[in-house]
Structure 1
Amino acid sequence: MRIDVITLFPEMFEGPLRESIIGRARERGLLDVGLHDLRDYATDRHRVVDDAPYGGGAGMVLKVEPIAAAIRDVKRDDARVILLSPQGRVFSQDVARQLAASDASLVLVCGRYEGFDERVRSLVDDEISIGDYVLTGGELAAMVVIDALSRLVPGVIEAGSLEHESHTSGLLEYPQFTRPPEFAGMRVPDVLLSGDHKAIAQWRASEARKRTRERRPDLEGARPDAQELAGEYATGVGSYRLARKYGLSPATVRARLRAAGVALRPARQAARGPSAEDVARLHASGIGVRELARRFGVSHVTILNRLKRAQQS
């Protein structure tokens, strides 16, 4: 895999690219990283690559001409040019897999100061952010992208090590343990010491799902499948309780149960869900419609209807 980096500070990359897995991948020819100093493409003898923003304001803005020249010089025919910016789409394991699976080489453009001249965006194919925070420059973001991509290149890491990692299948990874079997009163779960590989696999799958629900309920793997819902429904748990437990609407729960071939119990005649007064009071305190729907285990439409009813009363 070939990755070129356009940066004001190529020296920042020397340590991270030389050590550990990335260093070994480069030595074996599995990863090729080229570093290019943006100042080499400046158009004046002082090698200036930034200037004050039109319209005034604090800081300096990277000029479009040096970046355009650097991209023209560095970019190969099949290369994909990526701008590293807090305004880009958020980098994730899925994005890493997409980029690593492509045959195209990459050009990463690192920003600095107050950002880029807006016209730079017309020169790139994609814009990526590593999170909703601001760094002093794009170099650290580029290192994150390089690290995440390099470990997905075939041969860099043993394939089996990638199968059960966090975010590989929409789940966080299950808890890991090693020697000693007991530390400060905390024991390794007996199932991991049993030698029963089937039981271990079941425990790990269960713990991965449990951990994901506790820590990242927004991930796909935190959502129950139809069979899991059906199992709980068969024990007497109603659709409203299941909806509240998993952050779904009751309608979604019932739809998934029907898809699993479950015969739904008749609905109780008593009024369900929150009262209009409770919804109005909590909404007035600053809680949004979606959050109220999640808390009460109902759809957002139900919350809107309750608010409308409260306004009419």
Structure 2
Amino acid sequence: MMKRMMYFMLFSWMTLAGCAQTQSQQAGGDSRYFRPLTSEEKRVILHKGTERAFTGKYDKFYEAGTYVCKRCGAELYHSSDKFDSGCGWPSFDDEVEGAVNRVPDGLRTEITCASCGAHLGHVFLNEGFTAKNTRHCVNSISLEFIPAGTPRKAASDTAYFAGGCFWGVEYYLEQALGVKSVESGYMGGSKKNPSYQEVSYHKTGHAEVVRVIFNPSETDYESLARLFFEIHDPTQVNRQGPDVGDQYRSEIFYRTVEQKEIAEKLIRILEKKGYDVATRLSPAASFWLAEDYHQNYYVNKDGTPYCHKRVQRF
């Protein structure tokens, strides 16, 4: 495979240059598109720290409204799901669907913002506090509260697409109106923090995925999803052009029910047009940022994709 050959050519350079992927990259991304954080907020949100019990401003706070991510503003929890567990941190027995990822963390399970990877806290099950038997133990410093009835439009939203080599998908999506940033990475597999080599040799089950951060006032999810279906061949199974392997599968990782419904609608439209769509739909999971040399690949190489092109399908 062409891309695999290129990988071996780059491998020696990567080793010398020290392009190791760090743990903090999972909550990485271009900081220009996130809210500025204080040093204490960075300690918890980016470096997975914990604020002291009973010190957070939302511990004994029960106004009606919505809790959003301090870093990116994505909706995480509704006040109706908050309860007093007595643990010293805000507790919720449910989350906004698709808004929170769960990541194994030794004997515990970490919870992160599905939009930007920000550390929220940990989730515990079967403690008997509520009928749902779930406790999201969240750091107040990771949250911001929006009172009920407050007019609000998110400053950014996030989409995840897999459609073959992430170089090509990234190339086209980052040119779309309203897109703030596109990053290449991995999602949908079993291994935490995988390397490109591990993904390429089918050891993890991950797909090559792009994370798209966009401005909802300039574009919408459906526009980006339509573009996604037109810049790769959604009828191919575990391949895209000359690139073959399950990491090159066509898959949409949806964050919300609305995103899922939009993707399903577009697939029905394509099927009515005669396309045998192979694109999978899966809930978003942890996004692991790919190594530095994968980011903005074609822009940095002053090239164009070899296995992607725009084909009007709608």
Structure 1 and Structure 2 fold alike (TM over 0.5): no
Higher percent of residues as strand: 2
Larger Rg: 1
Q: In which range does the TM-score fall when normalised by the shorter chain? A: under 0.3
TM-score, normalising length: structure 1: 0.24
TM-score by length of 2: 0.24
Structure with the larger RCO, 1 or 2 (CA within 8 Å, 6+ apart): 2
Structure 1 or 2: larger helix share? 1
